[in-house]
Amino acid sequence: MKSKILTITMNPSIDKSTSVDCLLAEKKLKCSEPKSEPGGGGINVSRVIKRLGNDTIAAYLSGGYNGKLLKQLLIKENIKTKAITCFNNTRENLNVFDQKNKLQYRFLMPSATIFENEWKKLISEIERVSNIEYLVCSGSIPIGIPDDILRTIYSIAKMKKIKLIVDSSGNPLKEIIKDSVYLLKPNINELSSLIGKETLSTNDATSLAKSFVSKGICEIMVISLGEEGALLIEKESVHKISPPSIIKLSTVGAGDSMVAGIVSKLADKKEILEAVKYGVACGTAAAMNQGTELCYKADADQLFLNISSTEIV
Ligand SMILES: Nc1ncnc2c1ncn2[C@@H]1O[C@H](COP(=O)(O)OP(=O)(O)OP(=O)(O)O)[C@@H](O)[C@H]1O
Ligand SMILES: [Mg+2]
């Protein structure tokens, strides 16, 4: 099977998870055997796409000992990679589960600084790709990379007629709305920050998304709403997509699982409504899993049967 989906991760990580009986200051805490997993927005999207049975290539910037480990971990999961080797060591994040209080602590390390020649190599790689239909940019942008990098990627995607899907926040999101991407997937908080507001009601978020779509800022917007599911805004319609209620264990990776579900179905030539319903199923499936665990296909397929959608006028 040819890979139609390329994911881009500029700020990947090794995500190390462990647990302690109880997280206490000043004490020596005995940790359980740590588990290392590949991490970072696009990489997570690629890992889920693979679990869903689709093919993908993960392009990313990495360096040092952790960069090598990242590659090994991705090879173990049979994920095709295009790694750009950088001078600085890739960051390692730490997740610690407090068994007694059933709380997950997430320590995010600063990004490795990336040099101009390094991110430009990534751009050149994207310029060289062929037969790609969907390009997914997800995750934060590390120190050293300009905030408008997504615009550079957009111009390449446009030239190559590749559909660009963006799941970003902050300044990179502010930049990319100057262009005209295929699909934007903010959560409702990212959308409100974009317009300088603390919160947005679902109605206001819908109106804002409609204005984005009518201005051509994006063809499609999917606003994720956590346990409430998502809104799908297209030029002629708005749908609210609702998952069944579940017992939530951890929402880590829910957004990436959702994006993976959407793009995986789109690559299989499914309609956008079905794709987003499946995305909501994948996000919900991820929320059913403990810790950093992403979604599993069997759970997503089962949940998909009970996802409802209503058209909002
Ligand atoms: N508490 C929850 N219960 C059930 N499903 C959830 C929950 N949180 C998230 N989801 C599912 O995951 C999808 C994406 O979640 P969310 O809106 O939290 O994305 P996000 O904020 O981008 O996530 P992330 O923190 O991974 O970036 C939701 O549309 C929903 O399907
Ligand atoms: Mg997100």
Q: What is the domain-level CATH number for residue 224?
A: 3.40.1190.20
For residue 239, tell me if it sits in a domain. Answer: yes
pLDDT in the model for residue 273: 98
pTM of the model: 0.96
Q: E-strand spans in 144-250?
A: 163-167, 181-184, 218-224, 230-233, 238-242
How confident is the model at residue 313, as a pLDDT? 73
pLDDT digits (tens, 9 = 90+) for 200-217: 999 999 999 999 999 999
Q: Is 61 among the domain residues?
A: yes
256 is catalytic: yes
Number of H helices and E strands in the chain, helices first, is 10, 14
Residue of minimum CA distance from atom 21 in ligand 1? 187
Flag whether 304 is in a domain. yes
Residue 226: predicted pLDDT: 95
Q: Which atom number of ligand 1 is nearest to the Cα of residue 251?
A: 8
| 186 CA: nearest ligand 1 atom | 22
Query: Residue 293 has what pLDDT?
Result: 87
Burial class (CB in 10 A: 0-12, 13-18, 19+), 140: middle
Has residue 15 been placed in a domain?
yes
Q: How far does the centroid of ligand 1 lie from the alpha carbon of residue 310, in Å? A: 19
Total number of domains constituting the chain: 1
**Where on the phi/psi map is residue 151: left (φ > 0), alpha (ψ -120 to 50), or beta?**
alpha
| Domain assignment of residue 28, yes or no | no
CA–centroid distance, 200 to ligand 2, in Å, is 16
Q: How confident is the model at residue 153 (pLDDT cuts 50, 70, 90)?
A: very high
Which residue among 256, 268, 299, 301 is the active-site one?
Answer: 256
Q: Output the ligand 1 site: residues, CB below 6 A.
A: 187, 224-227, 229-230, 243, 246, 248, 251, 253-256, 258, 280, 283-284, 287
As a whole number, mean pLDDT of residues 262-288 equals: 97
pLDDT band at 77 (very low <50, low <70, confident <90, very high): very high
pLDDT at residue 38 tops 90: yes
C-alpha 146 – ligand 2 centre gap (Å): 20
Q: Kindly indicate the confidence band of residue 249, based on its pLDDT and cuts at 50, 70 and 90.
A: confident
CB contact at 8 A, 257 and 283: yes
Distance from Cα 238 to the centre of ligand 1, integer Å? 19
What pLDDT is attached to residue 291?
Answer: 80
Mean pLDDT, rounded, for 270-284: 98
Range of the domain at 102: 5-20+34-312
How does pLDDT run across 174-204, given as a tens digit for each residue? 999 999 999 999 999 999 999 999 999 999 9
Q: Is residue 29 part of a domain?
A: no
Q: How confident is the model at residue 1 (pLDDT cuts 50, 70, 90)?
A: low
